[in-house]
Structure 1
Amino acid sequence: MKYVVMIFRGADRVRTEADERGLGRLRQLQRELAESGELISSEGLRPPTEGRIVQIRDGQQVVTDGPFGAAKEHLAGYFMVDATDERALAIAGQISAAVGDRVELRATVI
């Protein structure tokens, strides 16, 4: 089954030396999952200030620069894996340990 592990980051959090070490552990995990065939995709995301909101209003596309609304945290990156439920939980735990914070694990619908 496919799962996405979403990594969140505090909106006002400053990158630290511990974060740099965590990124190194994430890159190593990325390589290991790629070698095992479990990794579908993994990317870090630019901050919300560099994003855009895209929506259709009255049949017209409207694009607004981000961020839209205040948030205490934002989606900072993700891992998409193809694994059993038990293995996906283990991978999410490794990612959580690397980033030093909680992550969210969700199975895909399709």
Structure 2
Amino acid sequence: MEYMLLVHTDPKTFAGFTPEQQAEGLAAYGAYADAMQKAGVMRGGNRLRPADMSTTVRIRDGKAQVLNGPYADTREQLGGYFIIDVPNLDTALSWASRCPGASHGTMEVRPIWGMGEA
């Protein structure tokens, strides 16, 4: 079953790291992704640009409203994701707990619901 591991972090945390700490953090994510690749569970993943670079679109009264920046002002923001294919939720939770983001943010684990599935 496929799961999406959503990494929610406070962008100020990473920005407050020294260059050495930032390099260590990126290396930790690289090692994590490599471990998932070697285990054969990783299907994809990427970092996301900061939320202040996002654009929000919604339809109200039949008209599109386009807003720059995040819709909600929250401390933790979606910073990246991984898509994994594992046998069950327990295995997905195990991978989520190994993510470097779990130590300084929040990991959301969501089963992927295929478009053709009931």
- TM-score, normalization by structure 2: 0.77
Runs of 5+ unmatched residues, structure 1: none
Q: 1: CA distance between counterparts of 2:22 and 2:107?
A: 15
Is 1:46 the counterpart of 2:49? The answer is yes
Q: Indicate the residue corresponding to 2:2 in structure 1.
A: 2
CA-to-aligned-CA distance 1:40-95 (integer Å, 9 cap, x gap): 11111111100000112232322110123321110111111000223212211110
Q: Offset at 1:15?
A: 4.1
Q: 2: CA distance between counterparts of 1:33 and 1:66?
A: 32
Output the amino acid matched with 1:7: V
3-state SS in 2 of match to 1:56: strand
Runs of 5+ unmatched residues, structure 2: none
Q: 1: CA distance between counterparts of 2:11 and 2:76?
A: 5
Identity %: 26
Deviates further, 36-45 or 55-64: 55-64
Query: RMSD over aligned Cα, in angstroms?
Result: 1.9
Task: Flag the 1:64–1:108 CA change in 2: closer, same or farther, 3 A.
Answer: same
- TM-score, normalization by structure 1: 0.82
Q: Indicate the residue corresponding to 1:25 in structure 2.
A: 28
The one of 94, 104, 109 aligned to 2:108: 104
3-state SS in 2 of match to 1:84: coil
Output the amino acid matched with 1:56: I
Q: Indicate the residue corresponding to 2:12 in structure 1.
A: 12
Deviates further, 35-44 or 72-81: 35-44
